[in-house]
Amino acid sequence: MINLNKIKAMLCVFTLCTFAFSGIVSAQKYKTAADTLKLNKEYSDVSLEISKLNVKLVEAKNRTAGYDSKTLYTAQSATNSAQASKSDAATATNGNLSDAKTAMKQAKKANNDAKDAKNAKDDQSDNIKEIDKLTAKIQEKKLVLADLDRQKAAIIALNPPPPAPPVPPAQ
């Protein structure tokens, strides 16, 4: 059996959603034919912003391949350096000072390569986040354009263009 409090809560949520939706739908910024100049300016500004965002998105997508190859290369390099460091450390246990120095250099190189691999992976994930952010911004701007199109259609529907002047008969 449905609880009375649940029904009241659902009714309140439904009412709030209805008012919020009706407020969004009825909020038209441009309403008269005199507003078309402002509407067209905003439309061109938003279109320009979308174009700029698309350029940034293409650049970010082009960087993705570079980051992928850099990540693979640095990971392989770090693995190779770690293996070399491990073998040098094993030979350095014989007490020879030059072997110990070589092992130390290899260990530092392995550490630096591991840091490079981590940085490459971080760059790659930052690039993916940037692509997602740019895609979301583009979608948001496209929604603004769709709203402006709707407003333009409403203005045209309320104010049809004047009829064309009659063509004079040929003499």
pLDDT digits (tens, 9 = 90+) for 87-133: 767 666 666 777 777 777 777 877 787 788 788 888 888 989 999 99
Helix 36-91, helix 97-158: angle, nearest 10: 170
What SS3 state is found at 27? coil
What is the total residue count of the chain? 171
CA pair distance 113, 104, nearest whole angstrom: 14
Phi, psi for residue 163 in degrees, rounded to 5: -65, 150
Assigned domain for 5 exists: no
Whether the pTM exceeds 0.85: the reply is no
pLDDT at residue 58 is higher than 90: yes
Q: Are 76 and 50 in contact (CB under 8 A)?
A: no
Domain enclosing residue 141, as ranges: 34-156
What SS3 state is found at 126? helix
Assigned domain for 2 exists: no
CA pair distance 15, 18, nearest whole angstrom: 5
Assigned domain for 10 exists: no
Assigned domain for 117 exists: yes
Assigned domain for 47 exists: yes
Q: Which CA distances in Å does 94 have to 69, 84, 97, 105, 107?
A: 39, 17, 9, 17, 17
Assigned domain for 3 exists: no
Domain total in the chain: 1
Band (pLDDT 50/70/90 cuts) for residue 23 is very low
pLDDT at residue 85 is higher than 80: no
Assigned domain for 104 exists: yes
Assigned domain for 60 exists: yes
